[in-house]
Amino acid sequence: MIKTPTSVELANVVRGLAIDSVETAGHGHPGAAMGMADIAVGLYGKHLKYNATSLNWHDRDRVVLSNGHAAIFLYSVLYLTGTPGIELEDLKSFRKAGSITPGHPEFGHTPGVETTTGPLGQGIGMAVGFALAERQIRGEFGSGICNHRTWVFCGDGCLMEGVGQEAVSLAGHLGLGHLNLLYDMNGISIDGSTDLSFTEDTAAKFAALGWHVLEADGHNPSEIDDALASAKLETERPSIILFRTSIGKGAPTKQGTSGIHGAPLGGEESAAAKAALGLPAEPFAIPEAHLKAWREFGARGAVEMQAWQERHDSMSTDQRSEFERRVEGRLAVGLSDTIARQKADWLSEKPAPATRKASQMCLEVLTRDLPEMVGGSADLTGSNLTGTSSISVNNGRYINFGVREFAMGTIMNGLALHGGILPYGGTFMVFSDYMRNAIRLSALMQSKVLYVLTHDSIGLGEDGPTHQPVEHLASLRAIPNLDVFRPADVIETMEAYEAALDGAGPAVMALSRQGTPCVRKDPSAENLTARGGYVLREARNARDITLIATGTEVAVALAAAEQLEAGGVTAAVVSLPCWSRFDAQSASYRAEVLGDAPRLAIEAASPFGWARYVGSEDNVIGVTDFGASASASELYQHFGITPEDITFKANDLILRHAASQAA
């Protein structure tokens, strides 16, 4: 008769896989995985609401590994519970080229991984987003359809990082009762004991932040079980369990030291550890009874999922259809027609607002037709103009993030990844630096998040260089898989939103503080902004020069083209609102738009990057320092971003081009 493995023995299987995987790879982080193994047994064995073979079950509990360096911990548990697509060979290929088990968990790359983690603290923020999304959808469709928890493993580093502090502060304020933080409090960081840099009273701090605080021995199965059960009973406050653990649990000489944080144990220590843990000496060997017990953990939620499916099927046809549309990420039927009608009205009216106001006008339309849109701002609602008549804090669709830009970015990623929510959030463009790493993760994961970044240039005026973004457009454009839209008017702004909503990943809306005229005159059934660039004004005859601009500078370029035309120079104007979209067009289209004539770019930002379109930064009218404190009109005069300056520069470029051709 095969003896039923104990909780400790099942945890030791995780420890053994962590030892063997890291040893085989030659690098990795076994310590945290070995330390958290007992918590995993308690969570997956009894408390987690999930079905390992049904990764898309909407009402599953979400598990986030914020301390993503412990990736082998998550991969081992996913394999042991029977997650389809993860085999033992994948653990043997840990961190190797082409494997589905990379050095940190990657959403969309490894089955069962809910979100990409690794930059410490961001997993906590994304977990806050998961919990917010769950509460919002539960409020709309009922607890019979959406009633799950988010469990997030984290370590000391996650709570040292500022973004972690921002996120837990907001979570406490919002009372996210379905959020549970499992703190691996092992007291060790890369440099040594956390006493070197981190000595705060975490329990008292979280209590002051409005959290439900629990403490437990992270290696005692009974205490683990009691703490997890208590966390599940709390519905009004987020819960944190401070699990006292020993990093590298089971390693004879390295347990409890920084030496096991981010390096293999070594052959001798590995063999001794496995012997002490009662594991086979053979690498990756798992006793049959142990694997069977873990697989039973993975199948434990099948009955609960079937009951949920029956409740789902009994929904009214309309409600079920709307729920499925939302969680599948499909846009509302008829939205494109609504957008087309609104564009036609604006083309007739020709409003001339700042593009931040144009954004609000667009959001007014979109949030009415897309109930999944949830917005917010980092304490700048009145400046970003992110509020609309359709969304409010009362209906859960508007989030006052406070002055927490980085947390806002991570939370929006969690909202998007959860499913059923389409988030957007605003701040000043210059403060995108605070949340750049969250934007980078949006692009890496291709999470559909809309970043509403206003006050996009020196045109914001008197707040001066600290608030005037100069290098930020170039910096954001450098991020792969991120569409950065800088629309010229209300029409382009609506088209930018439409393109972003139709896209697969994140987008930035770079929006002005100052007003700008409606530059689009002719109706077009095609979304020209979605192509990234197009000829806004063609020259009457063969082009002498092509002026290329974005945002509010498009109107300035049009005025310069008129001056040039009056002087006998034929000028075309190209609006280039989204470089990444334009670069994705065919070579023939790009050549047709840009033309063969000399090209001059105009943008109230750094010239960096423009050489790809105009040949040299010498052919760019831009801003090469940090701006100044003055009115927008004075600054545009100072930096030569006027029709007169453009005309002068264009004529000079034409002469230089002619001379070079003749030489």
Residues acting as catalytic residues: 405
Structure tokens at 100: 């589905």
Question: What is the 3-state secondary structure of 543-602?
Answer: CCEEEEECCCHHHHHHHHHHHHHHCCCCEEEEECCCHHHHHCCCHHHHHHHHCCCCEEEE
Count of CB atoms within 10 A of residue 257's CB? 16
Structure tokens at 134: 């769950």
d(CA 156, CA 137): 32
With CA atoms as reference, report the closest residue to 303 among 78, 51, 80: 51
Structure tokens at 415: 């909202």
Query: 426 has which bridge partners?
Result: 377, 452
Strand residue runs (E) in 218-308 = 239-244
d(CA 639, CA 627): 9
With CA atoms as reference, report the closest residue to 490 among 382, 386, 362: 362
With CA atoms as reference, report the closest residue to 461 among 233, 229, 631: 631
d(CA 60, CA 56): 8
Q: Which residue has the tokens 């330390």?
A: 35
Q: What are the respective helix, strand and coil percentages of the chain, to the nearest 5?
A: 50, 15, 40
Structure tokens at 275: 């012997």
Q: Which residue has the tokens 């003055």?
A: 630
By DSSP bridging, strand 150-155 and strand 179-185 are parallel
Report CA 453 to chain centroid distance, whole Å: 15
SS3 583: helix
Structure tokens at 101: 């088990």
Structure tokens at 630: 């003055």
Side-chain-side CA neighbours of residue 467 (13 Å): 15
CB 372 within 8 A of CB 416: no
Side-chain-side CA neighbours of residue 603 (13 Å): 34
| CB-count exposure of residue 166 (10 Å: 0-12, 13-18, 19+) | buried
Alpha-carbon separation of residue 617 from 596, 601, 622, 638 (angstroms): 18, 9, 9, 19
d(CA 135, CA 232): 15
The DSSP letter of residue 216 is E
Structure tokens at 510: 């770079």
d(CA 353, CA 422): 26
| CB-count exposure of residue 202 (10 Å: 0-12, 13-18, 19+) | middle
d(CA 269, CA 71): 21
Question: 311-346 burial, b for 16+ CB within 10 Å, e for fewer?
Answer: ebeebeeeeeebbeebbeeebbeebeeebbebbeeb
Q: In this structure, which amino acid lies at residue 576? A: L
By DSSP bridging, strand 373-377 and strand 398-400 are parallel
